[in-house]
Structure formats: C-alpha cells, structure tokens
A and B are shown apart, each in its own frame.
Chain A
C-alpha cells in the first residue's frame, strides 16, 4: 500500500534526522549488560549460565526507551490528529509506525546481541538461533511497546508507567525465547519454541494494530 510506505518512510526519515537519539537504546543495552558481571562475577561458567537471560531481559528493557518517536511526538505537533482524520485506516498507519519502530530500535539491538553473547561465552553455534529467536520475538515486542505508548498518550508522566504495563505481557516471549537459545546452546532441536514465537508474532501483527488504533483514538479525544 502506498500510504503504508509513505508513513513508514516518513517515520524512518524523522528518526534518522535525529540519529544521535537512535543510539540511546544501544547504549542503555550495553550498560545493563555490563552491570551483571559487575554485580555477580566475571567467571566464565557463571556468565554462560546467566547470559541468555541477561541478553533477553536487557533487550526488552532497552526497547522501552525510544517510545517518544512512536506516538508522543506526533501527538505533540498535531500529526497524530491528521493521521486519525485522514482517509487512511488508522490500523494501517499504526502498523507502519510499529514497523518503523521495530526497524529503528529493535534491529540495531538485535545486531548488537551476537557480540554481547560472545562476551558471555555463549557458543557461536548458538548465535544464529539466538538472532532468529529475537527476530521472531521482535514483532510481538514492538506491538506490545506500541500499545503501551498508545495507552499513555497525553499522560504527563506516561513514560514511567509503560514498563509496568508492557513487561508482564512480554513474559511468554521471554520464556520461549530463552528456551530456544538454551536448547541451541545444548545442541538440541529448537523448533518448538521458535514456532511458538512465530505464532505469537502472527497473533500480535493481526490483532495488535486494532487495539493500538483504538487506544490512539481514545487518547486524543
């Protein structure tokens, strides 16, 4: 759809014009990941045990950072109103914004993960599965984060609540994703959790935009 592309292109363009802000989630991720060896112990075997969990949780937390670009910025300058009023169905515009967020925030994070995984002594044979699992979890995560952003449009301190709302809902992603990674570390077949992640992604993409669009409309009333 041409309009989908137009919204996507616009959001990407706006994001890249402020490219220094793109780095924030990456820096946050790096800091969080660094804190764990500091807090626990730099011993190789212990790191490998916690590595999977640390990487996944750090990724989820970092994805909560770049929320302003999703809706708040557009709400503040009036663009969101125009999107709602335009002939384009809001669900399509919302989906385009979610995709833009995934590309701009999650994709760089996912690129950073393999390097960090290496430092946690996760065997390189497991890295492809780790990346694949993250890619499969990304759509659901983006939808949930966008939903949190939409529910808190216009709240003065909305940012602090989004984590409360979104993180409990991400627990299935965490469970399946870390399971896939651990299985792959042990050399076992990983089809089951990966398929479950894929199923969740399909569910999120089909139903998510509806809920998000509803929340956006109510938020701007």
Chain B
C-alpha cells in the first residue's frame, strides 16, 4: 500500500503541486499525466525515496519511503530516464549485477528471448540502440522482482512491439497483486477500469 499525504513541491518561488493525496493498494495501477515540467519526474523520485518533498509524507506499508529497511526496499523498483547501464560491460554482465544487487537469481534465458535481446546479450552496452537500452531496462525491472513499480515514461524509444510487451507486463504485474505508478504521455495505452489517474 503506497500512501501520499499532503504532498507539496516548491521550486524556489514556484509551486509545482500541493495538497496531493492518494492511496494505492494492491492490484492497482496509477498513471501520472501532465505537461512537460509539471513535476512528474520529481513526484516519482519522491515516491522512490530519492528526493524529499517540500512538505508532506509518502509511506510504503506504513513506513516513510526515505527510511525503508533493506527488505522493504527490495519491494520497490524505480526506473527513470537513465537506464543504469555501464557502457563498458555487456548486457549480460549488467543484468547479472543488477540481479545480485537485488538479491535475486539472474534467470536470463527466457527473459532475453522475450525481449529480443539474445543477439546482443554479450555485446557491450555502448553499442546498443536507444530502443535496445530500454529493453534492457525492462529486463532489470523484471529481475528485481519488486512489488511496486515506479516508471518514468517507460515507453520512450520503444517500438510498437516493445510498447505492447510493456503494457502486457504491466497488466500481468498488477493483476497478480503488484502496484505500479507510471508517468506517461499516452495514458490510453495503460488505462483500464479502476486505474487511478493523477494529473499534475
């Protein structure tokens, strides 16, 4: 259960948003929409615990996200604009490291096939296209085995197939008990009945 209470963010004199309340429970999807610069990325980073709001609190299962214990942090996955790929390591090495960080077994075979990354598995990340890098980011998301997904415009650079895959994954994740907050410019791709819309 992810709860945000009286969240406000001020950038100097400018108020990005204030009085933001929401509650997200299991099997629920929330979509963040708003113009560029409206604070979607900032809000997602706050939900992840990377940044602090000017006022207000965010809690995951009752604990403030900036003070989560290690086990609880395992349940949260944040994917922003940067893919967290070391350019000089291969795709496989990057994925194995990520799995190790999250204390999971790196089960790569089926995953790479599904994401059409088998050809590049042993290629250094510097040679990947933007779309391929996005797919590797998706693989990392899957490997983390997290319950709460915080995704910042995840469909950027993905082709039609990739987007369809992501939408299917999201639906599967939410249906099996997960939660997700996704910032997107195309909410209609993800939205279903019962989707929470947060407009900034």
Contacts and interface: CB of A to CB of B under 8 A. Distances in A.
A contacts B: CB pair < 8 Å: yes
A69 to B, nearest CB: 11
Given A14-B88, A221-B50, A221-B51, A87 B73 contact: yes
A81 B87 contact: no
Given A78-B80, A79-B84, A89-B70, A2 B100 contact: yes
Interface in B101-118: 101-103
Given A2-B100, A81-B80, A87 B85 contact: no
A77 B84 contact: yes
Contacts, number: 72
Contacts of B74: 87
A10 B78 CA distance: 21
Contacts of A39: none
Contacts of B87: 77
Given A87-B74, A87-B103, A6 B97 contact: yes
Task: Tell me the dominant secondary structure on chain A's binding face.
Answer: helix
B48 interface: yes
A14 B73 contact: no
A82 B84 contact: yes
B21 interface: no
Interface residues of B, number: 29
Contact of B101 (A6, A13, A78): A6
Nearest to B72: A87
Interface in B24-53: 48-52
Interface in B79-129: 80-89, 93, 97-98, 100-103, 124
Given A85-B76, A87-B70, A221 B52 contact: yes
A14 to B, nearest CB: 5
A14 B88 CA distance: 6
Contacts of A17: 88-89, 124
B12 to A, nearest CB: 15
Contact of A3 (B76, B82, B101, B124): B101
A86 B102 contact: yes
Interface string A1-22: 0110011001001100110000
Contacts of B103: 3, 87
Given A78-B80, A221-B50, A221-B51, A88 B101 contact: yes
Contacts of B93: 10, 13
Contacts of B97: 6, 10
B71 interface: yes
Given A78-B80, A85-B78, A86-B101, A10 B86 contact: yes
Contacts of B80: 78, 81
A14 B101 contact: no
Nearest to A13: B89
A183 interface: no
A10 B71 CA distance: 23
Contacts of B78: 81-82, 85
A79 B48 CA distance: 15
B61 to A, nearest CB: 15
Task: Name, among A10, A76, A84, A220, the residue most crowded by chain B CB atoms within 10 Å (CB to CB).
Answer: A10
Task: Name, among B71, B82, B93, the residue most crowded by chain A CB atoms within 10 Å (CB to CB).
Answer: B82
Of all A-B residue pairs in the complex, the 3 with the closest CB atoms, nearest first, are A78-B82, A17-B88, A78-B84
Interface of A: 2-3, 6-7, 10, 13-14, 17-18, 76-79, 81-89, 220-221
Interface of B: 48-52, 70-71, 73-74, 76, 78, 80-89, 93, 97-98, 100-103, 124
23 contacts: A3-B101, A6-B101, A10-B86, A14-B86, A17-B88, A17-B89, A18-B88, A77-B82, A77-B86, A78-B80, A78-B82, A81-B50, A82-B84, A82-B98, A83-B101, A85-B48, A85-B50, A85-B76, A86-B101, A87-B73, A87-B103, A220-B50, A221-B52
